[in-house]
Amino acid sequence: MTDISGQRFGRLTALYHTDKRSKKGSVFWHCRCDCGNEVDVTEDGLLHGNYRSCGCLRQEIWKELPGQLHMVDGTCVEMLEKRKHRSDNTSGFRGVYQLRNGKYRATIGFKGKRFYIGTFVDYQDAVQARQEAESTIHEGFVRAWYSWNRQAEKDPGWARNNPLVYEIQRINGEFQVTTNMKEKELLK
């Protein structure tokens, strides 16, 4: 055990070690946060940077988040722009998964709804269909939002009277987009 009493780790100052140990054998240290709260955290957690506050830092970040993100009908513009491949994805591509019969199903989510794209024998066909749907739905929505936002910044009164409309329907196997933004505005 290393004596870390008096050392600072983010907002936490280590005061004294306790008799408690984690499952991995790491000693718990009693710490005081800059906000005044006191917490017990593992030495490993402090040394590896897993703990930087009593939890007040996380709460502050969550309070600031709504001002930094742009939500439209439950869809976050920034999340669509910066989508990443998830490490727990088993098929290798977001929204494409293998069925028990060996075929591949492609789906896409938007505004809290899941849209069925199709079922495919070939994995690459499913991926291509998913990418086309992303282009139509996600990328189209992001373009529409930026176009709407440019207009809204110029004229806030216009923005109040003209909220962004971007709706998706699947008609005869094709995704149909309904929006109040003109096509030429989306290309800017």
The mean pLDDT value for 88-104 works out to: 86
| Domain co-membership, 117 together with 37 | no
Distance between CA atoms of residues 172 and 71, nearest Å: 30
| Domain co-membership, 52 together with 89 | no
What is the token pair recorded at 23? 């499952």
Domain of 168, CATH number, reads: 3.30.730.10
Q: What is the band of 188 on the pLDDT scale with cuts at 50, 70, 90?
A: very low
Query: Residue 43 CB: number of other CB atoms within 10 A?
Result: 20
CA 151 from chain centre, in angstroms, equals 26
Going 144 to 145 to 146 to 150, the CA torsion angle's sign is positive
- To the question of pTM greater than 0.85 for the whole model, the response is no
Asked whether residue 186 is domain-assigned, the answer is: no
pLDDT tens for each residue of 15-63: 999 999 999 999 999 999 999 999 999 999 999 999 999 999 988 887 8
pLDDT tens for each residue of 142-170: 999 999 999 999 999 998 999 999 999 98
* Residue keyed to tokens 């946060």: 33
* Mean residue pLDDT across the chain: 88
Distance between CA atoms of residues 138 and 108, nearest Å: 9
Q: What angle do CA 45, 51, 56 make, to 5 degrees?
A: 160
Query: Residue 135 CB: number of other CB atoms within 10 A?
Result: 10
Domain count, the chain: 2
Domain residue limits at 53: 5-62
pLDDT tens for each residue of 97-111: 999 999 999 999 998
pLDDT higher than threshold 90 for residue 90: no
| Domain co-membership, 55 together with 74 | no
| Domain co-membership, 93 together with 108 | yes
